[in-house]
């Protein structure tokens, strides 16, 4: 690959990089999820087979593109038919469900620096 780039002009090199980024963005993991409430605070996250007749408290779109762009994107919208407290809880549950792997990876990255024998140590 380096041999090819050696003979490319800067404009051609830029276009090749742009095409690679676009290809990666198209192939990044995109997830849509919705959350339903049953009875007394029993939640269900649904990832596919959304039914229009079902009433969802919140829906989210998550794009796990960190490896490509350095950022993930998460968009959450809630249903105004529900009270503010339920909307906030549903949004938080969806965020946690969709980003749990990223949260875990962050924990793995910092645990050796800040956690010693299950005690959080803050730097001075």
Q: What backbone torsions phi and psi does residue 110 show, to the nearest 5 degrees? A: -105, -10
Q: Which of 94, 105, 59, 55 is nearest to 78 (CA)?
A: 59
Largest alpha-carbon pair distance within the chain? 66
Find out if CATH 3.40.50.20 is the number for domain 29-120: no
Greater pLDDT, 9 or 88: 88
Q: Is it the case that residue 121 has pLDDT exceeding 60?
A: yes
pLDDT more than 90, % of the chain: 29
Residue 67 confidence (pLDDT): 81
Q: Which of 17, 108, 29 is nearest to 67 (CA)?
A: 29
Ranges of each domain in the chain: 29-120
H helix intervals, the chain: 2-6, 10-26, 66-69, 84-114
Q: Determine how many CB atoms are found less than 10 A away from the CB of residue 65.
A: 17
118, with CB counted inside 10 A (0-12, 13-18, 19+), is exposed
Q: Is it the case that residue 118 has pLDDT exceeding 80?
A: no
Tell me the pLDDT tens digit for each residue of 17-44. 666 555 554 545 788 888 888 877 788 8
């Amino acid at each position: 690959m380096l041999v090819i780039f050696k003979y490319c002009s800067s404009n051609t090199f830029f276009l090749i990089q742009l095409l690679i980024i676009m290809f990666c963005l198209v192939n990044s993991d995109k997830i849509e999820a919705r959350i339903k409430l049953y009875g007394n605070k029993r939640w269900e996250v649904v990832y596919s087979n959304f039914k229009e007749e079902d009433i969802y408290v919140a829906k989210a779109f998550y794009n796990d593109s960190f490896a490509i762009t350095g950022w993930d994107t998460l968009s959450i919208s809630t249903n105004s038919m529900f009270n503010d407290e339920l909307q906030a809880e549903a949004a938080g549950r969806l965020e946690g469900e969709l980003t749990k792997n990223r949260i875990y990876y962050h924990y793995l990255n910092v645990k050796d620096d800040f956690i010693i024998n299950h005690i959080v140590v803050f730097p001075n």
